Chain A
Amino acid sequence: MIALLIRDLRLAFRAGGGFGLGLAFFLIVTVLVPFSVGPQADLLSSIAPGVLWLGALLACLLSLDRLLALDYEDGTLDLLVTAPLPLEAALSIKALAHWLTTGLPLVIAAPVLGVLLNLPANGFGWVVVSLALGTPALSVIGTFGAALTVGIKRGGLLMSLLVLPLYVPTLIFGAEAARRGAAGLDGTTPLLMLAGITFGTIALMPFASAAVLRMGLR
């Protein structure tokens, strides 16, 4: 399992691995938002938590394409399916690798971009905590979407269509926690709901992902 994790991380960091793709996308989205809605500081600070969450979600979605498709093309996936390691574990590891290369950098970058968006001072902690809690769910759900569409040529658009509705609860609770925190309110309730979704999906989604991957590769 650790070998697989190291392999995935190494592939992601090497040239052409797509590390930084999500991060760059996140940066561009947040930089473009003030150009499109105008530079008013109060407007920006009220939408900043939502923009950061939306940017993080889209950046995650963008990098899902590579999660299983490359392994499918070069045959690694067939080896993983027949390997003694349970497929559920292999997919959990791949989701973890995806989170380490996409979700974690986003969490770290969010406060910096929050400054650009005039995020209120008490919102930083909430944004970072809610993103840190929520992005693992995005990776795990995304793995399910990637497993569902792995055998389909040009499945990227289809995967977005399938994954986006599944992201709705995570986005609602995550952005709500960040928004309440930034507005100076108590965001504990949505944060707890978000944690529930994250841990629930981490526990259950790998089984669904492995099931659909076995069906798709049969």
Chain B
Amino acid sequence: MSIWQYANPVKFLALSSRVQPYLWAAAVICVTTGLLWGFFGTPDDARQGSTVKIIYLHVPAALMAINAWFMMLIASLIWLVRRHHVSALAAKAAAPVGIVMTLIALVTGAIWGQPMWGTWWAWDPRLTSFLILFLFYLGYIALWEAIEDPDTAADLTSVLCLVGSVFAILSRYAVQFWNQGLHQGTSVPVATGGRTVADVFFYPLLVSMVGFGLLFLALVIYRTGTEIRLRRAAAMRARTGRGA
């Protein structure tokens, strides 16, 4: 028994169809609780008023936007090293979810920035890094779509993901060097354990972050299952000779 047995599509599908209902239920409960609690159950901030409440969408989305790329990076590495098709398809399935999360983070940030900073957009390091991340996602998805042979596509996108990660990190430091920021520091520093958000805002935020994580997981598993079935359908069509 090892985790690699789930590289077998049949086993993966069996497991995923068993855990999916629970995963979806947990994700929906966490996201709705987090958002409703955040929007209606917390007081307005002394200085920011009710605009502070966008944090329950913005921070979890930003968190998942970055983690989705990490997940794609790991899945790409597994594909390159061990050639498990499920892994390549999981990376493919995660990209559109990641780009949507990036967009949510950018848009909610702009909506919050307009009343608070007085501008929709500033060339701040964090904002710029996210815009660059968005471009990376766009290129990754476009490359998947452009190549017909699925294995070649998986190979090329995996290498792009690896090289892109290196350049994304480089860009992150480059933009920090290039412009000092307007964006506040991180609200929930994991490394130091301290945090700058008061408890009353923090707990709904935590629930919302967990909810977004579960939602991401559920979406990726669901989409990976869809990709596997699509692949099977294509194989079946090829066998019966009816063409695509």
Residues on A lying within 8 angstroms of B by beta carbon are: 144, 148-149, 151-152, 155, 158, 161-162, 164-166, 168-169, 172-173, 176, 190, 193, 197, 205, 208, 211-212, 215-216, 218
Give the contacting residue for A151; candidates B135, B139, B147; CB below 8 A: B147
Do the beta carbons of A148 and B152 come within 8 Å of each other? no
- Interface contact B139-A162, CB-CB below 8 Å: yes
Knowing A211-B159, A215-B155 touch, does A161 contact B171 (C-beta < 8 A)?
no
B164–A165 touching, CB < 8 Å: yes
Which residues of B in the span 123-141 have a Cβ within 8 Å of any Cβ on A? 132, 135-136, 138-139
- Complex Cα distance A212/B161, Å? 12
Neighbouring B residues of A218 by C-beta, 8 Å? 152
CB-nearest residue of chain A relative to B173? A169
The verdict on B177 contacting chain A, using a C-beta distance below 8 Å, is yes
Query: Once the chains are docked, how many angstroms separate the CA of A166 from the CA of B152?
Result: 21
Contacts A166-B164, A172-B174 given: A161-B156 contact, CB under 8 Å? Answer: no
Cα(A215)–Cα(B159), bound, Å: 10
B235 within 8 A of A: no
A190: B residues at CB distance < 8 A: 177
B143 x A165 contact (CB < 8 A): no
Looking at the complex, which one of B138, B142, B152, B177 makes contact with A216 (CB distance below 8 Å)?
B152
Task: Tell me whether B163 and A197 are in contact (CB under 8 A).
Answer: no
| In the complex, B170 has a CB within 8 A of chain A | yes
Contact partners of B178 in chain A: CB under 8 A: 172, 176
- The 8 A CB mask of B158-185 against A (1 = contact, 0 = none) is 0110111001101101110110000000
Q: In the assembled complex, which residues on chain B have CB atoms less than 8 Å from the CB atom of A144?
A: 163
Query: Is A173's CB under 8 angstroms from B167's CB?
Result: no
State whether A152 touches B159 (Cβ < 8 A): no
| Residues of chain B lying within 8 A (CB to CB) of residue A205 | 163
- A59, B30: Cα distance in complex, Å: 50
- Pick from B132, B142, B160: contact of A168, CB below 8 A: B132
Instruction: Please list 9 pairs of residues, one from A and one from B, whose beta carbons are closer than 8 Å in the complex, sorted by A's number.
Output: A161-B135, A161-B139, A161-B142, A165-B164, A165-B167, A166-B164, A168-B175, A212-B156, A212-B160
Contact B167 A166 (CB under 8 A): yes
Are the C-beta atoms of B171 and A168 separated by less than 8 Å? yes
When the two chains form their complex, are residues B142 and A158 in contact, meaning their CB atoms are under 8 A apart?
yes
Question: Nearest 6 A-B pairs (CB), nearest first?
Answer: A215-B155, A169-B170, A172-B174, A169-B174, A165-B135, A162-B139
Cβ-defined contact, A148 with B171, below 8 A: no
CB distance from A193 to the nearest CB of B (A): 7
Answer whether residue B146 sits at the interface, using C-beta atoms and an 8 A cutoff. yes
Q: Which residues of B contact A151 (CB under 8 A)?
A: 147, 152
Residue of B nearest to A166 (CB): B167
- Closest CB of chain A to B98's CB: distance in Å? 15
Give the docked Cα–Cα distance between A152 and B143 (Å): 9
A215, B158: Cα distance in complex, Å: 11
Task: Assess whether B142 is in contact with A172, with CB atoms less than 8 Å apart.
Answer: no
Complex contacts, B142 vs chain A, CB 8 Å: 158, 161-162
Which of chain B's residues have a CB closer than 8 A to the CB of A166? 163-164, 167
The answer on a CB contact under 8 Å between B147 and A152 is yes
| Closest-CB distance, A217 to chain B (whole angstroms) | 9
Residue of A144, A164, A215 most packed against chain B (CB within 10 A): A215
Contacts of A148 in B (CB 8 A): 143, 156, 159-160
Nearest chain A CB to B131 CB, angstrom units: 9
Whether the Cβ atoms of B146 and A155 lie closer than 8 Å is yes
Within 8 Å CB of A165, what residues of B? Answer: 132, 135-136, 139, 164, 167-168, 171
B168 CB contacts on chain A under 8 angstroms: 165
Chain A residues with CB below 8 A from B174, complex form: 168-169, 172-173, 193
Query: Which chain A residues lie closer than 8 Å to B143 at the CB level?
Result: 148-149, 158, 162
Please indicate the chain B residues that have their CB under 8 angstroms from the CB of A173 in the complex: 174, 177
Q: Which residues of A contact B162 (CB under 8 A)?
A: 208
Residues of A within 8 A of B136 (CB): 165
Who on chain B is nearest to A214 by CB? Answer: B155
Task: Give 1 or 0 for each of B204-226: 1 = CB within 8 Å of chain A CB.
Answer: 00000000000000000000000
Provide the bound-state CA to CA distance between A208 and B136, in Å: 17
* Interchain CA distance A172-B156 in the complex, whole Å: 27
CA distance A148 to B147 in the complex (A): 10
